[in-house]
Amino acid sequence: MTKCPSCDSNMKKEKKEIEPGVFAQVEICSKCKDDWIDEKEYSRLYKLFRRKAFKVGGSIAIRIPKEISDAIPIHDGDEVSFKVSKGKIIIEPT
Ligand SMILES: [Zn+2]
């Protein structure tokens, strides 16, 4: 069993909802209740939330990972609407 880096108590593995519908594998300390994430899971989440934009004809496309589209949810063929607000694009199922 892994020990807490702060207080050396035992930690247990749990799934934590980091965004609505998106879960991360974390280890939670039984004493100080801090949660820790290992390098592999951090790397997985980093890749999950970063995508490269690419050209499709005259448009720019971005792939939405299934884990994120399932959380909203958006399915193949669904219509979505988007709005641009303060440098961000917000996508919503219609
Ligand atoms: Zn602790």
One DSSP character per residue, 6-59 reads TT--BEEEEEEEEETTEEEEEEEETTT--EE--HHHHHHHHHHT----EEETTE
pLDDT band at 68 (very low <50, low <70, confident <90, very high): very high
10 Cα–ligand 1 center, Å:
8
pLDDT of residue 19: 87
**pLDDT surpasses 90 at 20:** no
Dihedrals phi, psi of 47, to nearest 5 degrees = -65, -35
Specify whether the CB–CB gap between 70 and 24 falls below 8 A: no
> Average pLDDT in the 37-58 region?
94
For 4, other C-beta atoms within 10 Å of its C-beta total: 19
Tokens of 22: 């998106």
21 alpha carbon – ligand 1 mean position (Å): 27
Task: Indicate whether 63 and 46 sit together in one domain.
Answer: no
Asked whether residue 22 falls in the same domain as residue 33, the answer is yes
Identify whether residues 27 and 63 lie together within a single domain: no
How far is the centre of ligand 1, averaged over its atoms, from the C-alpha of 9 (Å)?
Answer: 5
Residues spanned by the domain of 79 = 51-94
CA 20 to ligand 1 centroid distance, Å: 26
Query: Do 75 and 30 fall within a single domain?
Result: no
For the chain, how far is it from start to end, CA to CA, in angstroms? 46
Share of the chain above pLDDT 70, in %: 100
Domain with 75 in it: what CATH number? 2.10.260.10
Question: Does residue 1 sit in the same domain as residue 43?
Answer: yes
Check pLDDT > 80 for residue 25: yes
Residues 62 and 30 in one domain: no
Q: Ligand 1 mean position to 31 CA, how many Å?
A: 5
What is the model's pLDDT at position 1? 76
pTM here is 0.69
